[in-house]
Structure 1
Amino acid sequence: MLKILDDEIKKNVKSNGFIDDLQMFENNRAGETVVGLKAKLEKVGRGEEVFFAEMKKEYFSKLLMKFEHFPSAQKLFAYFLSRIHEVFETHIVPHASSLTRQEMEQIVENKIVAPTVADMGMGFEHFTLNESHIRGMIFWLADRCYIRWH
């Protein structure tokens, strides 16, 4: 996928709109009682993270905007955002009341950050995804009500 994206960037191959898998995450999820990143972090006693969480969310948002018109980048973002969403839905939310903060962070590191970094490798000249981007994806999804820690 990275090779295809590299070719799209070099040849300036772009598309209009988002693929369905990414569009799902672009829209805010309805029905949540705790709305917004700050409120979610404060609800679970992580209010001290708000500043850096907002910063990392914005860091990812800028990357998404920069590459949003490249079909292969959309596929990559959708794949990684889906991974994050599924890990939270299956490993964190159902057990949130019994997991410590450290246990949650270990799940995030082992099931989201490390595999995503491994999948990306070193990236390439035009595109890379680092740990701050990945954490930014988590906060971006939380802000849109797709993930939570409670």
Structure 2
Amino acid sequence: MFKDQKVIVVMPAYNAAQTLRMTYDEVMEQDVVDLVILVDDGSSDDTVSIAKTLPDTVVYTHERNRGYGGNQKSCYRLALEEGGDIIIMVHPDYQYTPKLIPAMASMIESGLYPCVLGSRILGGYALKGGMPVWKYAANR
């Protein structure tokens, strides 16, 4: 809980086995997250089996790949069904820093901002998470 608000982190996942645990650990280190919802979009690696071992995590799987937009919609719908007051999306590929979760939750909880967007480019987390340099340069 964050000031009596239920905070849910949603993770749209696709073949994220190598970075999922590291991302999850940093998400939970923020001490404001009540629940993680991971929606797997047809991964062929161990994403689902790893996710099922994570505490305070609910795992859903799509029977067929719905694409990024379809996965996002599932994430938000499921978070609302779980009673989330503040919903924060963190990709499990570690290209977005979970360290911003408390600040983002605070901005939403204050009522000043109904929505807060982060950048995977600022701060260099995209490169740390494995984004190819050519893609990083094109996103700047």
Q: Based on CA coordinates, which of the two structures has the bigger radius of gyration?
A: 1
TM over 0.5: no
TM-score (structure 1 length as normaliser): 0.26
Which one has a larger percent strand, Structure 1 or Structure 2? 2
- Which structure exhibits the higher relative contact order, with contacts defined as CA atoms closer than 8 Å and separated by 6 or more residues? 1
TM-score (structure 2 length as normaliser): 0.28
